[in-house]
């Protein structure tokens, strides 16, 4: 089963969307596709995502990370075990505890532990050895925004704005603020948020892709095409950009362009670069 969307992953793992996307592009996970071609993640995917990110942050070589997560995935249950689950580092070994049992994944040192709550099927992360950041730091405000999203949209937007004021180049705060405004139906504000972010952060493909989705919803198809094309100029291997562009070209009666981008999308998915 693949019950988790991108927003669930952001909240459970406190990973920004750009990091999730980079780990998918690196081939560590291959999430399923849900409605509107959205990513859907399994419980195994959550564990693998966070493990891969932690090992990468510890400067573990890519080849060792790949071996570690491959072995980790092979042993993980399909869903949260009733006994709970913990993953931690012992020396340079990744050790997994499932109830009373312990087993070792492929070698690779990292300082991270996962704890599962079997009653709620939640997943909490405990970073070890990390310094606490000041309360007003941009990342702290960003995490507050993540925590507030489902409780209070306006408060979450305020937290993301605080994060941006603390660090104007914090791309993830720009992305989440624009997405929340879009979801709230505040389309003009969302457009302004994205265009401001492009000015500050540059031509980030995910930022431009989100702008394209917004412009489509505003029924500004020609501008949406330009946004998607700009996203693909920044990252030609951005499969979702090719997919949305193909559908949009089909709607505006440009079948050759639609076929070209759909073929590119299928090629990228087939080779694991979606």
Looking at the structure of the chain, the number of domains it has is 2
Q: Give the domain range for residue 214.
A: 138-270
| pLDDT tens, position by position, 37-78 | 788 888 777 777 777 776 666 666 666 666 666 666 665 655
Of 127, 158, 181, which closes a domain?
Answer: 127
Q: Per residue in 94-118, pLDDT tens?
A: 555 554 455 555 433 332 444 444 3
For 193-241, write each residue's pLDDT tens digit.
999 999 998 888 889 999 999 999 999 999 999 999 999 998 888 888 8
- For the domain that residue 225 is a member of, what is the CATH number? 1.25.40.10
- The 10 Å Cβ neighbour count of residue 260 is 15
Locate 216 and state its tokens: 């489509």
Task: Give the per-residue pLDDT at 124.
Answer: 43
Judgement on whether residues 172 and 226 belong to the same structural domain of the protein: yes
CA distance 100 to 84: 10
Q: What is the pTM of this model?
A: 0.55
Q: What's the CATH number where 76 sits?
A: 1.10.1660
- What is the distance between the alpha carbons of residues 116 and 58, in angstroms, rounded to a whole number? 23
Where in 37-148 does DSSP place strands (E)? 39-40, 85-90, 93-98, 101-104, 112-117, 122-127
Once rounded to an integer, what is the mean pLDDT over residues 141-158? Answer: 89
Point out the domain boundary residue: 65, 98, 127: 127
Is residue 72 included in any domain, yes or no?
yes
Q: Is the same domain home to 256 and 214?
A: yes
Residue 91 — φ and ψ, nearest 5°? Answer: 65, -125
Of all helices (H) and strands (E), which one includes residue 32? strand 32-33
In terms of domains, do 93 and 174 share one?
no
């Amino acid at each position: 089963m693949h019950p988790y969307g991108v927003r669930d992953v952001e909240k459970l793992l406190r990973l920004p969307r750009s990091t999730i996307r980079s780990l998918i592009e690196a081939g560590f996970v291959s999430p399923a596709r849900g409605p509107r071609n959205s990513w859907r993640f399994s419980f195994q995917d959550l564990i693998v995502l966070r493990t891969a990110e932690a090992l990468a942050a510890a400067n573990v070589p890519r080849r060792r990370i790949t071996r570690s997560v491959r072995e980790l995935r092979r042993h993980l249950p399909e869903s949260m075990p009733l006994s709970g689950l913990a993953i931690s580092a012992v020396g340079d070994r990744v050790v997994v505890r499932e109830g009373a049992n312990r087993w070792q994944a492929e070698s690779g040192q990292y300082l991270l532990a996962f704890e599962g709550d079997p009653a709620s099927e939640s997943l909490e992360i405990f970073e070890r050895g990390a310094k606490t950041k000041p309360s007003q730091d941009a990342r702290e405000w960003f995490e507050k925004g993540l925590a507030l999203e489902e409780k209070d949209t306006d408060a979450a937007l305020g937290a993301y704005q605080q994060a941006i004021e603390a660090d104007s180049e914090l791309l993830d705060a720009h992305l989440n603020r624009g997405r929340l405004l879009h979801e709230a139906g505040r389309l003009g504000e969302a457009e302004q948020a994205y265009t401001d972010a492009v000015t500050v952060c540059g031509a980030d493909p995910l930022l431009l892709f989100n702008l394209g989705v917004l412009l489509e919803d505003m029924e500004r198809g020609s501008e949406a095409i330009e946004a998607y094309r700009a996203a693909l100029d920044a990252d030609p291997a951005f499969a979702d950009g090719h997919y949305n562009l193909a559908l949009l070209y089909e709607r505006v009666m440009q079948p050759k362009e639609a076929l070209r981008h759909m073929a590119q999308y299928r090629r990228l998915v087939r080779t694991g670069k979606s």
